[in-house]
Chain A
Amino acid sequence: MAYRIEIALKRGVHDGRGAGVAHRARNFFHLPVTGCATRDVFKVDVALAPKQLREVQQLFTDPVIARSALGRLAAPAFDWLVETGFKPGVTDNLGRTAQEVVTDAVGRPLTAQEGVYTGVQYLLKGALTREQAQRLGRDLLANELIQSIRVFSAEEWAAAPVDAEPPVIRDPAAVQVRAYDLGGSDADLMQISREGILSLSIEELHAIRDYFRRPAVLAARTQLGLPAQPTDVELECIAQTWSEHCKHKIFAANVHYVDDKGRAQTIDSLFKTFIRAATEKIRKDVDWLVSVFTDNAGIIRFSDRYNISFKCETHNSPSALDPYGGAITGIVGVNRDPMGTGMGCELVCNTWGYCFGSPFYAGDLPAGLMHPRRIRDGVHQGVIDGGNQSGIPWTRGFERFDERYLGKPLVYCGTIGKIPRALQGRPSERKEIFPGDAIVMCGGRIGKDGIHGATFSSEELRHESPAQAVQIGDPITQRKMYEFLMEARDLGLFRALTDNGAGGLSSSLGEMSSMSGGAEIDLALAPLKYEGLQPWEILLSEAQERMSLAVQPENVAALLALARRRDVEADVIGTFTDSGAFVVKFGDRCVGRLEMEFLHEGCPKMHIDARWQPPQVAAPAPLRAGPRDRALLGLLGALNVCSKEFKSRQYDGEVKGLSVVKPFVGVQSDMPSDATVMKVEYDSHAGIILAEGINPFFSDLDTYAMMASVIDEAVRRVISVGGKLGSIAGLDNFCWPDPVLSEKTPDGPYKMAQLVRANQALYDVCTAYLVPPISGKDSMKNDSVRGGRKISIPPTVLFSTIAKMDDVRKAVTMPFKQAGDPIYVIGLTADELGASEFHRWLAAEQGTPTSYGGTVPGLDLIHALATYRTLHSAIEAGLLHSSHTPTLGGLAVAFALAALGGDLGAEINLDAAPHLGTLRDDALLFAESNSRFVVTCAPEQAAALEEKFQGLPCARVGTVTAARTLTIRTAERQLVASDLDALRKAFKKTLNGI
């Protein structure tokens, strides 16, 4: 028997949630909602005595501000009532906590059939039609993919029975294992792949068919009672292991590349040829690489005591379907990468970054796509909740906006971890597994979460069934598991661990079993959230908050006992072996056997054509010479430049109390810092510097220049706060539109050539700067074909940097510090306005928004290296008061932000700025040339600074002033004379409150 409890705020207590709904309904949906009251609904499906029920109701109700009723609360006058709840099988975090409160109240554990389910009621006032109320339910209050939405008029509500029905489906389907006949034609094979959402190519299907025909394989299968043809467990496991997501087939492919001069080249794996080769080359020159490309995250040495690990992931497709769930899963998911690296890292901080369509987008939206504002709000809230509730501070965050992200948003989430260099006297990065070690799965239970989730279309996802549930991260369950794992690690209770992410057990155990040479598991031993899962679903489920451990037999009892004390689910589900095969059982029955060598090495290589042809992009018409105040204000307020502080303040950046240079700096703490600095240990002044570079706009002109510029930006940001070449490591995250030629992608060879060129640049720049890539990820299918319109993202690379800083107290920040300080520009400005923020602003002004061509910034590695070394030594010597590296918007925006940071004015003469050739004013002001800095020092240090930079392009361009005005001029004319308040307003108003 289930009970319904409704909870509302007392009269006189402000209902912020309701007010927010009314505000959004009016302002974003333009609907006449005059008021909205909200209530929480709990459906308590637990056997309770009347006294216990009253106690539960009391426990759920805040006696100071809330009131509640069993069944229904009397409703105030309303026009429409919308009630939302979760669909069966969807993670209900609030319900889970309520369950724990009930558990204490009844003094016994709840049975598997018992549970608490939650919903929210919105009582809307206003002259709305039913359709409008339904639209609010669908587009504002809930996501139909994962939630139920019911709409009632006042009369309907009065007439409706009290609904205490819990959203559960109880259909313990019989266990079924199907075998697939791969003996048919190619068309038959492709149909199996399509219908099963396996994404296997015909070459791959042939390889699978041939494997199962091997006599030795057949003999082994017969002995285990398996059919000759592959079972669903086996085929799903192979498809998962061989997926682009897990296998990175495009980066591993043979590429036939032809450049614009017709020169051909064959590349055996972009990853091996450029990325890993760069790291291998740099390895000879740096001594702090501990483990790269082999584990869940790259590991570098930090100090005598600690190593550091860093991983960044994307979670794009899930975030397009359910922005909140996709994003929270993204952040808590990437947390498990360092957590599962080496013997398990402690989590230090998070990074995030998103690419969206404009939140102000007012054009047509293809059917099935969410408005970018809704996606953005959901993604932020997901990562905010995931990070904050996990107690991990954020350090870096960015947003980029372009219409081509309407089809698929990019959601980057990164995590840095630390680990003692040795544990139990052994190097902590070493993972070992021996035959006989137990396989333990810990964390959450398994449901149908995320099975093929990302590949389903939304139509298919709308069925009333748990099978299609999207994952929703549960930070608290994960936090409990994390603390348990750290405790177990320090007690030496396990030998290896890894994360269950994409592909679930099939991928984590597939990976781990290659360390011992095989594994045998019994899926019937895996704990389930609810009945009715088929064996293949248990193996593939992407239910979150789970890790797999290899445990020495003698430690199993102690590990399980500790898990019980910490209220963490942990179960032995099998044994590692050296049989050479991954054997899957369900109880006594064998349901799958795959040889390790075939599973990991059997996937045929792809062959991809790439043909480079420089694109033709028109440039905007040059602007007549004159003042540029309006242009500067326009750029400061442009979506890609403007302040992102409103959303950023909702992320916890200071838990752990180790932050030193925060994401926002300056006297009003409102200017973005070039890079952030934090301590790693409480009793040491050493720390880490974090920064990043990203610029999808340069990709429209040349991905080689894009990649070079992005790495340069990520590196020079580190240098700007005090970092040092030779101590910087990098992470590459490639997000690409599908670059493989097909009917849907006729321009595949061009997109593949773009990928080749980006990789060439990565090798060239990383090896020159001694910045080894230590980890990375690629996401290669960022296209949307909904509503008959194909939208592909621009090639986008996030390059993240992490560097060790010996003494964080020497860090330098970007704001001007005191009036009278001389201002210097270091580095050459060139006529490089192609795809710059200025050209994009100008092109939009001229009504031809895509005509932002021109010369894309180049990179002079020799000059850059000398500049970075000299700047570092100037900071070490304590010469600088401020240092800021120009990025979007060039020098003009850089001067403005540094002035705003100090709340001080500046007088600048741009003629003095080092530059190449004769430049127009706009190039001097706005070119986004690489490797430049704007620095200040005390007047008495000017001579020392100038001497340090002798022989390098460095010149004094002006002075910091007490007058709160920024003036920029040349000998010819005044270009900018702007009051600081106007500049600040322009920078901050665009996304304030949005």
Chain B
Amino acid sequence: MNPKILIITGYGLNCEAESHHAWTLAGAAPELVHLNDLIERPARLHDYAGLMFIGGFSYGDHMGSGLAFGARVRHHMQADLARFIADGKLILGVCNGFQIMTKLGLLPGLDGDYFTQKVALMHNDCGAFQNFWVTLRFEEKSPCVFTRNLDLMPLPIRHGEGKVFTLDHALLERIEELGCVPCRYADPATGAATDKFPLNPNGSLNAIAGLCDPTGRVFGLMPHPEAYLFPENHPQWDLQKLRGTLPAQGAGLKLFQNAVAFLKAT
């Protein structure tokens, strides 16, 4: 049976169509549910195997990206989210979804504390929203179930507040030790993590592009895997086609396929 995925919509989130298509292509059964319908009966969350916080501009990013949406989710759904995680289910956040999860405290979710904000997603160092493609490097030692067996992947970024930041160095070290950094911005020539703009689009500490919790089942990232489902999404697909290197499907799909494989195995 295809695992059911709940995708929350509304209030300025806007990646519902491509996210829905990504899960469908990966073999899941996604459903779009408006935040108000979910808040009305938060327990319906438990009908699903996975939850996705999608990208967009919830509440226009006013007051800091994800803050207002995160506050509403915490206010109405904290207990159900805690149970959902404890039940071994999956949560994915992309871009604004990652920002919401970080504001909620779901990430990095150390020591079982999923509802205290620990790290910030700040304005990009360059000072503006940016849309271009970056290369991600996935960390082998991370427990993240979404990023298993991946090494380098080109994906688009589209954000103004993506710089992972904290003043607490000890916290950052623990996050690294626990493998809660599954992906970083990398130099495609060397595969090494980088803090150089535009390879690293926002100046994120340790070139962090995404975070997971220590279980690896709760994961968020700034780049958009759901925007690379087709080979023709790649900015150089024309050249790849000529050289015979055009992949059969967009690389971003692999993260969704990993998630579905995990759910089908459990």
Contacts and interface: CB of A to CB of B under 8 A. Distances in A.
B60 interface: yes
A772 interface: no
B120 A64 contact: yes
B117 interface: yes
Interface stretch (B81-89, B178-186, B214-222, B227-235): B227-235
B242 A817 contact: yes
A480 B233 contact: no
B14 A655 contact: yes
A773 interface: no
Contacts of A390: 14
Contact of B229 (A17, A479, A483, A657): A657
A817 B238 contact: yes
A654 B62 contact: no
B144 to A, nearest CB: 22
B233 A657 contact: yes
Interface size class, chain B? 35 or more
B11 A650 contact: no
A391 B9 CA distance: 12
Contacts of B21: 657, 682
Interface string B229-249: 110110111110110000000
A658 B158 CA distance: 15
A62 B67 contact: yes
A97 B167 contact: no
Given A101-B63, A565-B37, A881 B75 contact: no
A566 interface: yes
A656 interface: yes
Interface in A650-703: 650-662, 664-665, 667, 669, 679, 682
Interface string A1-29: 00000000010111011011000000000
Nearest to B37: A565
A815 B235 CA distance: 12
Given A13-B122, A649-B132, A657-B226, A97 B62 contact: yes
Contact of A98 (B62, B129, B228): B62
B71 A16 contact: no
Main secondary structure of the interface of B (DSSP, over half): mixed
B34 interface: yes
Given A476-B11, A817-B242, A64 B117 contact: yes
Interface stretch (B42-50, B51-59, B135-143, B258-266): B51-59
Given A62-B120, A649-B132, A654 B224 contact: yes
Interface in A288-311: none
Contact of A388 (B10, B129, B132, B242): B129
B115 interface: no
Nearest to A653: B131
A566 B15 contact: no
Given A101-B63, A566-B36, A650-B129, A480 B10 contact: yes
B57 A389 contact: yes
A104 B39 CA distance: 12
B164 to A, nearest CB: 10
B129 A652 contact: yes
Interface in A26-73: 59-60, 62-65
A475 B132 CA distance: 23
A817 B133 contact: no
A815 B233 CA distance: 17
Contact of B235 (A20, A60, A662): A662
Contact of A64 (B63, B131, B156, B166): B166
A812 interface: yes
Contact of A566 (B10, B67, B232): B10
A792 interface: no
Contact of A101 (B14, B68, B232): B68
Contacts of B166: 64
A464 interface: no
Contacts of A97: 59-60, 62-63, 68
A818 interface: yes
Given A656-B17, A809-B232, A94 B63 contact: yes
B80 interface: no
Interface in A686-723: none
A93 B57 CA distance: 13
A242 to B, nearest CB: 37
Contacts of A812: 238
B60 to A, nearest CB: 4
A667 B188 CA distance: 13
A660 B132 CA distance: 14
Given A16-B127, A65-B120, 8 more contacts: A59-B67, A62-B103, A97-B59, A101-B68, A650-B131, A656-B18, A667-B239, A682-B17
11 contacts: A65-B122, A65-B167, A97-B68, A101-B71, A389-B12, A389-B61, A476-B11, A479-B11, A565-B34, A650-B130, A654-B224
Interface of A: 10, 12-14, 16-17, 19-20, 59-60, 62-65, 93-94, 96-98, 100-101, 104-105, 384, 388-391, 474-476, 479-480, 483, 565-567, 649-662, 664-665, 667, 669, 679, 682, 808-809, 811-813, 815, 817-818, 881
Q: Which 6 A-B pairs have the closest CB atoms?
A: A391-B14, A657-B18, A97-B62, A64-B120, A657-B227, A389-B57
